[in-house]
Structure 1
Amino acid sequence: MEENIPYHHERSVAVAAVREAARLCRAVQAGISPDVIQKKDRSPVTVADYGSQALVCRMLAEAFPEDPVIAEEDAAALRRPENAATLEKVVGHVRAFHPAAGAEDVLAWIDHGGAQEHSARFWTLDPIDGTKGFLRGEQYAIALALIIDGEVTVAALACPNLPVEPGAVERGVVYAAIRGQGTVRVPLAGPGAMVPVHVSTLEDVTQARFCESVESGHSSHDDAARVAEVLGITAEPVRLDSQAKYAVVARGEADIYMRLPTRPGYVEKIWDHAAGMLVVTEAGGMATDVFGAPLDFSRGYRLEKNTGVIISNGRFHDRIIAALEAVGVGRTAG
């Protein structure tokens, strides 16, 4: 029985939470006009970010009241008088799901994600990963993970604009994983059957497809091109925003994702990687930093002991790490 799987309940709640948040994000995104994009107005993503975090944290607080949540946002800015209009919009979107919600309820739900320190058991949330993708109407994700004793144990990764499977017309999919139990996908609209997900079985690294961030500020495109050259990879990289890249590798549509350092001293945040990392590794892939070290989620809200993130189908991970060393990636990043 599925109910007897360890952490089945946590996975169910996580999937329900990111589904609800994704519906709110879709509603906000549907209202983004070309004029908003032209003016580089970030207010829609701000509204969706806060609304998404409010919905997810409300559900986590109800289901697991003792669990802290380390999330990307807090409500301090929303409480300022000059942001009253933004708060009103956030509350309006949240009320589509919880009609009795007041402003103080919404602010309290957002602030439930205000933990910063590591604890034995906590959740980490990125309410909208890929803000520029969101504003462009392209890829973004809602990423939620449960970390227990420093190990990412449960993950739910909602990708509202990603095709349900490669080449499909229907868009919107949630990837869910439990440590030691594999990765599955379910339609965002639900309920739908849980379909197991696996990385590619490609062995020849020269034929590998890799994906990277659209924004060069998130990962060094130049270094990635040098690594690809060393490995003999000639295919153009697929560029997309957010942890949707993890989903693309997990389902075998790409074989490598490299998040390479862009400046000395930069430290990755756990909410940018925890959910995606478990989705990939439980689908059969590998995840390390640029030196081949495991990702360490036992240091609070940052990956303090790691430099960059390297994801692959696992068949040639050591060759990627060797290529990174050959071109000097990471040596001056600390």
Structure 2
Amino acid sequence: MDVQPPDIFVQEVETAIGALIQASKLGQRIVSSQDKGTITKDDLSPVTIADFAVQALLIASFKQVFPNDSFVGEEDASDLRANDALMTRVWDLLNTIAQDEFTQQGACTLPQSKEHMCDLIDQAGSSSPGGPGSGRVWVFDPIDGTKTYVRGQLYAINIGLIVDGKQAFGAVACPNLSLRHTGNLKNESADPNGNGCILFAIKGHGAFYRHLESHHIELKSTILPIPSTFAGNHSGFITCTGLVDSALDGVHDVVAQRLGLQFPGSDVVPWVVRWAALALSIGSVTVWVYKRRDRYAKAWDHAGAMLLFEEAGGKITDVHGKDIDLSAGRKLSNNFGFVAAPIALHAKVLGIVQDVLKEQGRDEFLQ
């Protein structure tokens, strides 16, 4: 059944949907290409020309509509400024949609020059979310799951609005995740036809979804609340066992076993896709305990995307049971790991996680 979004954050919703549709076109142009313009950053993580292009598009679009807001993004433009050929490739990618009918209708705003493009990227590349009194801050992850993206697998584009340190709005595009997907989700579950989706949530007003291929702002339906049990098609553990090595060994599989859930269940690298999968009831639980106590999540992997699950009936804390503090900075240094489950089951899941850590002599992870 078609529904209209609530009469709140109307400009934010329209801007996000238009920008995500056009950003997804950029992502999809590169995801199927052999040469994605991939370079390696100082932290050894990959970045592609699509990461830069999408971040520039998002900031240009939101800055045009909300000029007094602040912006946080994963990338900065230092690599582009040092490599003219790379800068040109990003600029050329952006220009592939300059004459697109939807762009011409105002769905998004593009940078005016290469220098403007770099300046926009830099506006978000070193800033941080703030706490009380910090106002409206947009947090962008232009390509979440770059490691899977370069393989032509699942990825997402994330937008989060934080107001005075709290999530207020989130919007996510999963350009190659079909709403028709059933069963466990894998990195390689990308829809070969590019039938993606957009999800968004407004704090206190629910979560919604639509098919990406529709160019209408109206939504197809609401996301149904997540059941309070692990019964039926809504049960499932969502984790990541490959491509990244940041998880503490020997914990996640034991937690899943005690919950009576298949492990690994849905096995997905990108965090934003994991939050979307939980909101869509592809799974019901995710647990993440880092292998080092000094390892922290990054704001752009979670801000906004987490709200999808929370507004669909989920609860999210860290391993200690603390609410996730998005005001801590670019890294969520006031939290350690994640425990997410339907509200009625969260306490049970959290208790099992903590019991397993204690039984395994991992008390330092609970301090």
How high is the TM-score relative to the length of structure 2?
0.82
Contact 1:205 1:316 in 2 (8 A): no
- Mapping of 1:103-182 within 5 angstroms? 103-114=114-125, 115-118=127-130, 119-167=134-182, 171-182=195-206
Q: 1:288 — aligned with what?
A: 317
Q: 1:8 — aligned with what?
A: 10
Contact 1:124 1:147 in 2 (8 A): yes
Name the CA distance, whole Å, in 2 between partners of 1:190 and 1:240. 26
- Choose which of 229, 233, 238 in structure 2 pairs with 1:203: 229
Contact 1:160 1:188 in 2 (8 A): yes
Find the residue that maps to 1:316 and give its secondary structure.
helix
Q: Which residues of structure 2 form unaligned runs of 5+?
A: 100-110, 183-190
- Mapping of 1:249-260 within 5 angstroms? 249-260=278-289
Query: Against the structure 1 CA distance between its residues 235 and 324, is the aligned structure 2 distance closer, same or farther, given a 3 Å change threshold?
Result: closer
Q: 1:87 — aligned with what?
A: 87
Q: 2:21 — aligned with what?
A: 19
Name the CA distance, whole Å, in 2 between partners of 1:41 and 1:300. 25
Contact 2:129 2:165 in 1 (8 A): no
Q: 1:190 — aligned with what?
A: 214
Residue by residue, what CA displacement relative to the aligned partner does 1:53-97 show, whole Å, maximum 9, x if unpaired?
0100110110111111111011112111xx211111000011123
Name the CA distance, whole Å, in 1 between partners of 2:266 and 2:50. 26
Residue by residue, what CA displacement relative to the aligned partner does 1:224-267 show, whole Å, maximum 9, x if unpaired?
11211233334542111211111111111111112221212112
Q: Which residues of structure 1 form unaligned runs of 5+?
A: none
Query: Against the structure 1 CA distance between its residues 107 and 227, is the aligned structure 2 distance closer, same or farther, given a 3 Å change threshold?
Result: same
- Choose which of 245, 250, 260 in structure 2 pairs with 1:232: 260
Name the CA distance, whole Å, in 2 between partners of 1:199 and 1:129. 25
Query: Against the structure 1 CA distance between its residues 235 and 219, is the aligned structure 2 distance closer, same or farther, given a 3 Å change threshold?
Result: closer
Contact 2:178 2:197 in 1 (8 A): yes
- Mapping of 1:51-66 within 5 angstroms? 51-66=53-68
How high is the TM-score relative to the length of structure 1?
0.89
Name the CA distance, whole Å, in 2 between partners of 1:219 and 1:238. 16
Q: 1:97 — aligned with what?
A: 97
Name the CA distance, whole Å, in 2 between partners of 1:89 and 1:79. 12
- The yes-or-no answer on 1:302 pairing with 2:324 is no
Contact 1:74 1:113 in 2 (8 A): yes
Letter paired with 1:332: E
- The yes-or-no answer on 1:316 pairing with 2:345 is yes
How many residues are matched? 328
Contact 1:157 1:174 in 2 (8 A): yes
Contact 2:230 2:236 in 1 (8 A): no
CA RMSD of aligned residues (A): 2.7
Cα shift at 1:7: 1.3
Name the CA distance, whole Å, in 1 between partners of 2:155 and 2:77. 22
| Sequence identity percentage | 28
Residue by residue, what CA displacement relative to the aligned partner does 1:100-131 show, whole Å, maximum 9, x if unpaired?
84211211221232322512210111111101
Name the CA distance, whole Å, in 1 between partners of 2:341 and 2:94. 37
Letter paired with 2:227: T
Contact 2:226 2:312 in 1 (8 A): no
Residue by residue, what CA displacement relative to the aligned partner does 1:204-230 show, whole Å, maximum 9, x if unpaired?
489931111243424345321121123
Deviates more, 1:19-28 or 1:165-174: 165-174
